[in-house]
Structure 1
């Protein structure tokens, strides 16, 4: 496999930038490198235009370092935010916070790297990974720094040319005046409540509100009994260990997520929901079981409990979803790659 035969693929999320090489002939991803994103996560006080410039510069520098300064054969970027068909990033709450001006990321990267760049939403890219193995329509849900979803139906991801669709994380599910604040600046959004960051905030609030219960929990033992020392890794480990305190915190965040899923189910009729994202997969099967239990409690019209259980599955336990997906999407859009892969 030479540099001329592979695509350079990136997945830019709210916390981590991943870059790798995807061979369209063998469907193999290799040489994955991970670095922190130079965005909101590292500098939450910086203005949106500053963070936008930093992220673009970081992508350009990472691509140059990865390819030894040579223009890639093609560049595919899975990016966390709504994106138009032309590669215009309309918003990126987990990457640079409040909306700011739309960023023509596809155009900028094509100019700066010398390679044709395709930029798509990270969940759109990930859906292309699962489209190769799912026998029918499905909804992909990510629970990580934020929450997103994409419905894959009839061989396509259901979004319009302006990037609308698949943003359940910004559904307003809490109308109270003191509802949690979303990274985008809105209040009461699903992502502010049920994402990894939302669960972390809920765990810290619960620890401050019920200090005795917290001190007796498995979660406390994982963070030196300090509420402010709780992190997502500790929450996930405590839930996996069956800790009642951490489990109840997580359960409390899952009601609006279950409501969102039932809304998609009853309105569109998709009967497969695949969970991915760093937080959901870190918790693993206990997360799936808790979500299913909440779906059963709420009810999915026309389904029995065992059918509801079959609705939800965990995705592959890695963080390569966007990289593999955008590689497959590039291959589908590149005639020479498609022909080579079929030979």
Structure 2
């Protein structure tokens, strides 16, 4: 039983990752990354076509991983709301939207012939940060291709059976008709302003609105044409203290801080763990900017010192969805026996 393993998959809007989760050592190995064959690589294609592309890609890579790992079950950490029976309600950063619900669990089980668990990526990632010695509630927030959140309290992630809850990235923060577009087809959503994609779009808009300011910024040195600007350059400029880049990113950070104050005032969560490629690339600087906005806005009933303790960074890797998926499987399914050695 010490060699028992699961195959875990993290399906994001930009990257699809597979890995082996070892039950005994509580660790992931054989982590492999490929670009997700969805909207990022095929913008403008019909949602139904992208759904088929992505599911075929997941099934093929899962089958290869299962064969390598000798695993007896699979868990998919999915970038979108998922029902209790494994249906994907939406996936704006993966295949756009709106579109039909997709029975991801059923399709993969039919293809793989193994038990499959499909959960939202943040629902999976939460389990990496659950500490049996410290059961205080917390809110996990990812700032990556999109924005999502999940609240953990009293041993469970707060969701209903239809997967609703923890989709704060689709909370409307700008109701104006010309607000920034969201991948889901809506406008003015938090993710459209504060995600990695949203921050990059905001910086490009700021450059068009203030070409002289952009020209003085470090951003112009890496991308004289704002349309060629990328997140790598944006992150580097913000970390270096560039005023223009910081102001552009602060627009989304202010919106996120407003969302956090809403979560706090509604259900009293006082700890917020940040993960996701964009937030972790900015690292301590991102936490500093977000905390400053929380202090400026205030959290009703908390002292400034208590507000300064609300935000913490998650692990400095992108394995939270994978590790969390493995722990979730280990907690909900019997540990699979190692696959038998092939006969000659």
CA–CA separation in structure 2 for the residues paired with 1:315 and 1:23: 22
CA–CA separation in structure 2 for the residues paired with 1:81 and 1:258: 22
Question: In the alignment, what sits opposite 1:88?
Answer: 87
- Provide the secondary structure at the position in 2 that maps to 1:206: helix
Counterparts of 1:1-343 in structure 2 under 5 Å?
Answer: 5-68=4-67, 72-132=71-131, 135-223=135-223, 225-336=224-335
Question: So what's the TM-score if we normalise by structure 1?
Answer: 0.95
Question: So what's the TM-score if we normalise by structure 2?
Answer: 0.94
CA–CA separation in structure 2 for the residues paired with 1:229 and 1:306: 41
- Provide the secondary structure at the position in 1 that maps to 2:274: strand
Change (3 A) 1:41 1:24: same
CA–CA separation in structure 1 for the residues paired with 2:322 and 2:188: 31
Contact 1:71 1:115 in 2 (8 A): no
CA–CA separation in structure 2 for the residues paired with 1:17 and 1:31: 14
**Deviations, residues 293-337 of structure 1 (Å, cap 9, x unaligned):** 111111101112221110001111111010000100000002346
Contact 1:12 1:18 in 2 (8 A): yes
Pairwise CA RMSD:
1.7
Contact 2:213 2:244 in 1 (8 A): yes
- Provide the secondary structure at the position in 1 that maps to 2:87: coil
Question: In the alignment, what sits opposite 1:341?
Answer: none
- Provide the secondary structure at the position in 2 that maps to 1:78: strand
- Provide the secondary structure at the position in 2 that maps to 1:46: coil
CA–CA separation in structure 2 for the residues paired with 1:306 and 1:244: 26
Change (3 A) 1:69 1:317: closer
CA–CA separation in structure 2 for the residues paired with 1:176 and 1:100: 24
Q: Aligned residue pairs: how many?
A: 336
Change (3 A) 1:257 1:319: same
Contact 1:39 1:95 in 2 (8 A): yes
Contact 1:24 1:337 in 2 (8 A): no
Question: Structure 1 stretches of 5 or more lacking a match?
Answer: 339-343
